Structures are given as C-alpha cells and as structure tokens.
A and B are shown apart, each in its own frame.
Chain A
Amino acid sequence: MRPFTLHEPTSAAEASALLLERGEAARLYAGGTELLLAMKGGFLPCDHLVNVKTIPGMDAVALDGGALVIGAAATHTAIESAPIVRERFPLVAQVERRVANARVRNVGTLAGNLCFAEPHSDPAALLLLYDAEAVVEGASGERRISIADLQIAPYETALEPGEVMTAVRISPLPGGARAAYLKFGIHHRPTIGVGAMLRVAEGVVVEARLSLGSVPPVARRLPEAEALLLGERAEHLNAESSAVAEVADAAAAQADAVDDLHGSTEYKRHLVGVFVRRAIAQAAA
C-alpha cells in the first residue's frame, strides 16, 4: 500500500474543508475495513486520509425526540450493544450484531457501510423499513438525505464532493408495526437480505414495507409486492399461505438480481421468493 498522510480534523466542517482542498486525492476514513482493503488492492489510490473518528461527539448513539441518532464514527459493536438500541430498536441491534465478523464490527461503522455503498449490505436493506435519513455536512451547511436516496449505484452515493455524513437518524416504526430481517449466504457478506415491516390494525395489514438487499445493485423496496399485502389478515400470513406465495412471486419478479460470485440471477430470484415468504411470516407471527 502506498504511503498516505493522515489528517485528524476536530469538526465536520474542517473535515469537509480538507476534502474539498485535496479533491480526489483525499478520502474520509472511519474504521477503514473497506477503505484499507481497497487501498491495499490498488483500487482506491489516495494520498490523504481524513479521520472522522477524531471529531468530538461523532461516535454518539443517542435518542433525539424518539428518533435514534447514530453518529458516523459509531461502530457496529457500539451500536448493537447500546442499551437504547437494544431496548427501543431491537431489530437494529439484532441485525448489527450479525454484520460481518467481530473484527469488522469492532472497528467498522454504520456510516462507512452506507457510504461505501457495497451492494452486499445488511443495514442498507434494513433501514428501508424505517423512515431514516442520513445527516450530511458540507461547505454549504447541513442537509438530510432520505435513506432511500442515499445510495445511487454500487460504490456511489448522493453525497456531493466535500460532504461528510455526520449521523444516521432512524425514526421508530409506527405503532402496531412488526418487523423482521433475514439474511442468507455462505460468504462473509450476505448473498441476500430481506426485510419486512407490517403495520397491523384490527388484525389487518394497513401498511407494508418489503426491502431487498445484496441481490440488486442497490438495496430497494419492493412496492408491487408490498401492495399485495394491504388488507390481508395478519393471522393468515404464514409461510404456507397462498397470499404470501403471491407476494413472494411478485417480489422475485422485481428483484433486479445480478450474477456474481454469490450465485446466478436465477438462483437469487428464487431466494428472494423464499426469504420474502419467510420474512413476512416472521413479521406476522
């Protein structure tokens, strides 16, 4: 790996200024679990690393008016072990506990995961079940990007040059909502991740969200499949039900699967059906 200069800013504004000053030669650096691999492999030549971890307060995990605010320097381990996450956002804690391996979780961050936009990401799919936003800061101040608009293509985000993600804000699920997230694969990164959120009123599904990660180039919702769930009785939504099978088929049809080392498009489409079915059944149970 070629030598680089490490910068340790003390504010997001300073980090942003450093990035703008150095242009392509500079990169933000959090846990480095993606960045250093890419640099060692010669895919991301850069001469300046700007450390987000030295910015005071960046590693905070806190509640703000009911919303969970996860600082950009918070590691997966810090997130999953934080009592407020475990108590108020148990599904987030559960998924974060199963991201990667202990070594990656101990230094890797949620922000780094989302900003790298590697297609095989659990949080990218999970957060689509929530109303969630990325808080970013750049030369022209702070703005918020809906999580659904953050990643635009593999390894590409909606962040402008010089923008730093400072936090992820996750609103609680609406009342009456139940959610589940399932992942599958034999590789380190997931082959597929499927999330399901059902809001049930008087036994009937009044709102549904289905999210799919790792299979398409960018994690996405599955609106056609979601629509089929509306009006269904939650108690009928088990793994054997024909209604769920229809939803699963619709999801598979929308999967936008890509061929890679994890498997063929045909197999992945099949898996989408299986895991959408299982995730709905688990959320409804």
Chain B
Amino acid sequence: MSARAFSTVGQAVPRVDAEEKTSGRAKYTTDLALPGMAYAKLALSPLPHARIVSIDASRARALPGVYAVLTAAELTGMETHYGSDRKDRPIVAMGKVRFEGEPIAAVAAVDLAKAEEAVELIEAEYEELPPVIGLEAALAGESEPVQETNVCHRYEVAWGDAAGAMAACDHVFEDTFTFPMVYHYAMEPHAVIADYQADRLSVWSSAQHPFLVRAELARVFRKRLDQVRVVVPYVGGGYGSKSYTKIEPLAAALSRLAGRPVRLALSVEEAMKTVRRHATRATIRTGVQADGTFVARECRVELDTGAYTDNGVRVTERAADRLPGPYRFEHLRSEAVGLFTNTTPAGSFRSIGGPQGAWACESHTDNIAHALGIDPLELRLKNLVRPGEELLRGRRRLEADLAAPLAEVARGFGWHDYEPVSTAPHLKRGVGMACAVANAGASPISGAFVRLHADGSATVHVGTTEIGQGSRSALAQIAAEELRLPLSSVRVIASDTDAVPYDRSTGASRSTTLAGLAVHDAAADARAQMEDAAARYFETFAEQVALAEGSASFEGESISYGALIGQVFGGAGGEIVGRSAITPDHPSGKLAEDPVFWEVSMGFAEVEVDTETGRVRVLRYTSVADPGKAINPAQVEGQDEGAAMQGVGHTLFEEMRYEEGQLMNPNLIDYRVPTFGDLPDEFHTVLLERGDGPGPYGAKGVGEGGIVAVAPAVANALFNATGARIRDLPLTPERVWRALRETNDA
C-alpha cells in the first residue's frame, strides 16, 4: 500500500478516559461493591524476623460482626504459597515472619471498623530472631538467614577477558555507588474484591498483569483457568507495584473462609509494606585508553530484594544487564547478586534495575571524563554503541541511534557554551547529562480481537491494563486508524480475563508496542474482511475498494460499514470479528530476538545548589524519549515527564528508612515524594521518531525511560557546579552539605 496519511495516529488527541476520570465517574476497584460483601483488614507482624509461637484469634472470631479470621491454619485444601518466579511467599505468614508488616492474619467483617477492632484482638506470640538488615548483614550471614539462605539469585553476563584486559589499559577507574529503597506511591494503593465460589473465583483487582494473576489463583485454589475471572477496572497508577500477584490470593482465601465476597483495600502504609524498589550497591571498574576509548569493564551489583523473591530474580538479571551502560566494550563482566533481608519485599518498579545501573554507570562516566580532562559529552559520543551494533553480545542489535541525538540535544541545551549565572555568593549552578538504554518489552505474547458492529462502531478486546498510562487511548487510535473509523466510534474495554484475549503483562514499556501490534493486526484482519465484503458488493477486486471514515467506496459509489455488514449477514445484524495473536514468530520478523526493543533514556539537567544548606533545585531538565513513532505525542510527553518527576523523587528526597528492621517513615508526611513545587522551571521532552521500533508504525515503548537518567544527570550537574561527587542517593540537603564540606576540606 502506498503511503497513506494517518488520520488519528500521531495526533495528540484527548485521552478517551479524560472526561470519565475528571468528572469522578470512572470506576476503580474500591468504587465497586458486591451484595453481601465483607470488609477485610490485615493483622501485620510488628517484628521484622521471628518464629511464630502461636496465634490466638479466638477473641477476634467471637466478636459480633466478624465473619472470618484467616491464619495459616486455615490454608487447607489449597496451595499455601505463591510467587512469580518462586513460590516462596505464604498467603499469610507460616511459622515465621520475615518483615515488619507481613500479614499474619486477616479479618473479614461487616464493616471496616469492626474488622479493625477484631484485628486488635488477635494475639500472636513470637520468638524474636536477629533481623538481617542491609546488604552487609545479608552477605555476612552471621545470623539465621531470611530464607534457606540469604542469596536469592546470582547472574552474570560476560565476554572477553575483562580482568586480564585491564592490565593493558592506560588507566583503570573504579567507583562504588548506592541506591536507596524507594516506594512507588501509586495514588491508589492495592485493592481487591474477591468472590470465591466452589466452581468459580471472581476477582476485581488493581492488577497490572491480570492473566498472570489468573494463572496464580487457578494454581493456588486448584481450579481451571476458565473457572477464574480477573477483572481490572481503572487503576490509579502502578509503576510496577501492582505487577504479578500481590494480595489477590489473600483476599480470595478470606472470601473462601467467609463464604462471601471480600474487599481488601490497603492503606499507603500497607502498600509501602507490600512492595518497593531494590536498594543496590554497585561497583564499576573501567579500563580506558588515554584518548578516552573504553576497553574493558567489570561491574558488580548487589541488590536488596527484601524478605521474599517477588520479582527479585528478573530484577537481579536486568540490573546486571543494564549496569554496564550504553557503551562499547571489548571485554565485559557484569555480575549481580540479589540478597534477602528482613524488609519489605522488593519487586518491579518502573525500569527494573535501570535507575540503579544508570546512577552508577553515568556518575562513573563523568568521573572518568573529569580525570582524563575530556568533555563528558565527547567521552560519551566516543564510546556509545552505534545503531546495528550489539550492546549485549548475542542479543538483539541496537536499532536506535544514541550519539546523534545526544549531540543534538546537548547543543539545544546550551552544553557547549554554558556559563553558570550567579545570583548570590552561596548559590552555585552547573549542568550534567546522562544516557542509558535498557532491554525492554518483556515477552512478545499478546492477543486482541476487534468486533466491528452492525452500525459501524467497534469494540476492541485486549488485555492491557489501563493504569493511567493512556493505553486505552493509544490502542483506540491504532484500531481507529486500521479500521478506517473515526476515533469516537471505537471503544476499548477494560481487562477482563473472561472477555479479552491473553496478554502477558502491562509493564516493561511493552503495551503500545505489543498489545498495540495485536490491536493493529486484529483491526487489519477486520478491515480485510470489510474489503472483501465491499469487493463482493461492488463486484470488483478487494484492491479496488477504498475504506475511509466508516465507509467503503468504489468508482464514486459508497456504502457505510453498517450497511455493508447488513449485506454480509443478510440484514439480520451480525458483526465482523478480526483476530490476532502476537508471538515471537510475528510475520514482520521483528519480534524474534530478545529484547523486544531497546528503550532509550537521556537527560540533561541544570541545577542550583545552596552551598550553605545543601539544598539542590533542578532549574532546567531536558529528557529525550524514543517512541520510534509517537501514536499520541501528548501522552508520550506525559509519560516522560511523569517518569522524570518520579526520578526527581529518588534523586532528591525519597528513601525508605529502616531502623532495626522497623520502617521509620511509612507515610507520606515522613516519606517525601515530589510535588508541584519541585517541578523544574523549564522542562522539555524531545521525541525521537525514526520509525525504528518493532511495534505498529515503527513504535516502541517509552513509559519507563524518563526515570532512568535523572539521578546521574542531576548529580553530574552538582559535580559540575561544586566539584563534589556524591555516591549515595538521595541527594538530601544534609548529604550534599557534608559532601561540600569534604570537598572544600580536601
């Protein structure tokens, strides 16, 4: 087909859910209620590590208004553990508690106040164990381990002889950086309504991956997949916190025990004790030639994965994949070890292992540039992987161009002729940059079907969760484009495992690329059927008819889709159904290799630091996102800005602080997330659109990239302003003040 002008793809059309959400009509899980529904409250362990001697729930059970109290003793006739890679997480603590806040029991009662009252009546006796807190304690292994061992997972990627090659290099540089535990803060904490019946388990959940939840629930409750239904209404943000299975088995087990539907909605504090990002310590050693050419890199990252595996295996692997950065090395060895500790389990969080890796790699890159007296931009341009080259040996080649846009955006940012403005003697300004790419997309398994109704409107059935990222809008745009329908005629329905085809997950920046491709192909299938029908109607060949704006035409005659569908079914209603199933064998050939695509991150920051207080402000930030083709540019910018602002959080403020295994800041007053006051004075998103992605129209994912470069770009700017190199996040005023004092004393 010759190049056809897009009608809705590429347009910043308003979100299809904008009105529903801004008017308050949009329904989230906690807006729903089932007849007879009970309210649940969790009893949480006050201790980080202990053997459970006994749990006495008799007083709670005797309280009028209480339907059921679930403890480990009630987990009979079902599987007791779950987990995405390893089934190591008990539905409620069994025998031992492994972190402060681990559920030991759950109450279902007539209302929430009654459930809370009952929780107070549950008595648990513990035998305290020394808590394993922090990477050092986990590595030392001097007390009882968290799981059978404190090592969750080891992983390595290597080629050449990195250790040996160092000896032949002109310089070898080494640095160590740490990254804190941080919390996602989805505005809607986890929420589930579970309705357990003998032959049917129905669950409404704020889950990102409904099909993985369905599989887990079917396994736990020994049911067939068709007997389990997972529905995901609107979700108030995920960022990975709602990936895989979280509290669904607990809610379902409680519903089974109570014999009625159960609603379990977590508070912010409980959500902080459900999942978090991995804290890391990363050491990088780089062998460099005098001209700045990188030759060899050895790096090691240790990850604090908390009390259970959750997604710790995959995060450990991605951390090692992402730590070496976007540079060419003859010799590389990158190893990662994930360690259990007695803290909130760590799992997926927007770009798993990405921000931790870039923080270390990109701070280290600037240290090398400084030591060699080379401009940090030039050092990067010299060593960046080029399009078509392998970034990780044996994996998909890099489709993206990194060097050209980095240089171009640097020019636009005023990198070369930057002169810091001084407004007061204690205020210093500087600029910094960072660049990264990440293997993204997870598994290329997604399906869709598109129903073209008898009046020419269409419904899209696809398993992507609308978590606020705008998937319903982008997928509707793709369907409208392929069906040649106006956008207003297309509806994308909510994820419901009874009603939509399988989609692996909503994460890893994959939805527009993979679910988008599924919708594209299903809509194209429906369109082909319409072309055939039109060809029959006009008595010509399918190639001769033109479809546009919901009508088919041939030689000046036209017929509406509705009328045409009437012809197909002899006027008795009916609908056209288009189908697709995306697998690695997609006919485009673009999904055969791992990863599905490389996600690009670039950030440029100008900061101002008050050298007396240590307070850092981001004055300007430019972020580069590479969507290949922006289906909806406004939404891409929204994702990129949102991700970057979330990155400002772990850069300047956010850190879950533990003392002796107790989380000290489990609320949004003591745990500081960015607010509007923290927005840079200027923020730009630059979109790269080379059409080089494997998704529809050359699209690829962007939802995570914006968060990755922020911390190193800001820290590099701080270094540029003051000469102080900070190796630990967040860059709190006190930490910056101490670093400045050391730099000045040195």
Contact = CB atoms under 8 A, between A and B. Distances in A.
Contact of B615 (A2, A3, A186): A186
Interface in A124-161: none
Interface core residue of B116, B665, B733 (most chain A CB under 10 Å): B733
B60 to A, nearest CB: 14
Interface string A151-176: 00000000000000000000000000
B670 interface: yes
Contacts of B612: 274
Given A2-B113, A261-B657, A261-B665, A184 B670 contact: no
Given A1-B113, A3-B113, A267-B737, A184 B615 contact: yes
B532 interface: no
Contacts of A81: none
A270 B669 contact: no
B63 interface: no
B618 to A, nearest CB: 13
- Max chain B Cβ within 10 angstroms of own Cβ: one of A37, A101, A261: A261
Contacts of B675: 101
Which applies to chain A's interface (DSSP): helix, strand, loop or mixed? loop
Contacts of A261: 657, 664-665, 670
B127 interface: no
Nearest to B664: A261
B672 interface: yes
B117 A186 contact: no
B669 A187 contact: yes
A101 B670 CA distance: 14
Nearest to A184: B613
Contact of A189 (B652, B669, B734, B737): B669
Interface string B104-120: 00000000010011000
A2 B117 contact: yes
Given A261-B664, A261-B665, A274-B612, A186 B737 contact: no
Contacts of A270: 737
Interface string A246-282: 0000000000000001011001001100100000000
Contacts of B465: none
Contacts of B113: 1-3
Interface string A49-75: 000000000000000000000000000
Interface in B623-669: 652-653, 657, 664-665, 667, 669
Contact of B734 (A3, A41, A267): A267
B732 interface: yes
B672 A186 contact: yes
Nearest to B669: A188
B670 A263 contact: no
B607 to A, nearest CB: 14
A79 to B, nearest CB: 21
Contacts of B670: 187, 261
Interface in A193-236: none
Contact of B116 (A2, A186, A187, A191): A2
Interface in B662-684: 664-665, 667, 669-670, 672, 675
A101 B678 CA distance: 14
B111 to A, nearest CB: 9
A186 B653 contact: yes
B392 to A, nearest CB: 38
B422 to A, nearest CB: 15
A1 B672 contact: no
B613 A274 contact: yes
A263 B612 CA distance: 15
B116 A1 contact: yes
Nearest to B616: A186
Given A261-B657, A267-B737, A186 B669 contact: no
Q: Contact residue range for chain B?
A: 20 to 34
Contacts of A3: 113
A184 B733 CA distance: 10
A86 to B, nearest CB: 22
Given A2-B116, A261-B665, A267-B734, A186 B652 contact: yes
Interface residues of A, number: 19
B116 A271 contact: no
Interface string B85-116: 00000000000000000000000000001001
Interface in A1-57: 1-3, 37, 41
A261 B670 CA distance: 7
B664 A271 contact: no
Contacts of B653: 186
Interface in A80-115: 101
Contacts of A264: 734
Contacts of A2: 113, 116-117
A201 B577 CA distance: 89
A97 to B, nearest CB: 14
A186 B657 contact: no
A161 to B, nearest CB: 27
Most A Cβ at <10 Å: residue of B669, B675, B734: B734
Contacts of B667: 41
Contacts of B664: 261
Given A1-B116, A2-B117, A271 B669 contact: no
A262 B615 CA distance: 13
A187 B615 CA distance: 12
Interface centre among A184, A186, A189 (most CB of B within 10 A): A186
Nearest to B652: A186
Contacts of B665: 261
A264 B669 CA distance: 18
A187 B734 contact: no
A259 to B, nearest CB: 11
A184 B612 CA distance: 12
A99 to B, nearest CB: 14
A234 B704 CA distance: 55
Nearest to B730: A186
B672 A263 contact: no
A261 B672 CA distance: 11
Contacts of A186: 615, 652-653, 672, 732-733
Contacts of B672: 186-188
A186 B653 CA distance: 7
A22 to B, nearest CB: 20
A267 B664 CA distance: 20
Contacts of B652: 186
Contacts of B669: 37, 187-189
A253 B732 CA distance: 24
A38 to B, nearest CB: 11
Contacts of B732: 186, 263
A274 B670 CA distance: 24
B744 to A, nearest CB: 13
Contacts of A271: 613
Contacts of A188: 669, 672
Interface string B598-628: 0000000000000011010000000000000
A281 B496 CA distance: 64
B116 A263 contact: no
Interface in B375-416: none
A271 B734 CA distance: 10
Contacts of A1: 113, 116
Lowest 5 CB-CB distances: which A-B pairs, in order? Answer: A267-B734, A263-B734, A274-B612, A188-B669, A3-B113
27 contacts: A1-B113, A1-B116, A2-B113, A2-B116, A2-B117, A101-B675, A184-B615, A186-B653, A186-B672, A186-B732, A187-B669, A187-B672, A188-B669, A189-B669, A261-B657, A261-B664, A263-B732, A263-B733, A263-B734, A264-B734, A267-B733, A267-B734, A267-B737, A267-B738, A270-B737, A271-B613, A274-B612
Given A267-B737, A267-B738, A270-B737, 12 more contacts: A1-B116, A2-B113, A37-B669, A41-B667, A184-B615, A186-B653, A187-B670, A261-B657, A261-B664, A267-B733, A267-B734, A274-B612
Interface of A: 1-3, 37, 41, 101, 184, 186-189, 191, 261, 263-264, 267, 270-271, 274
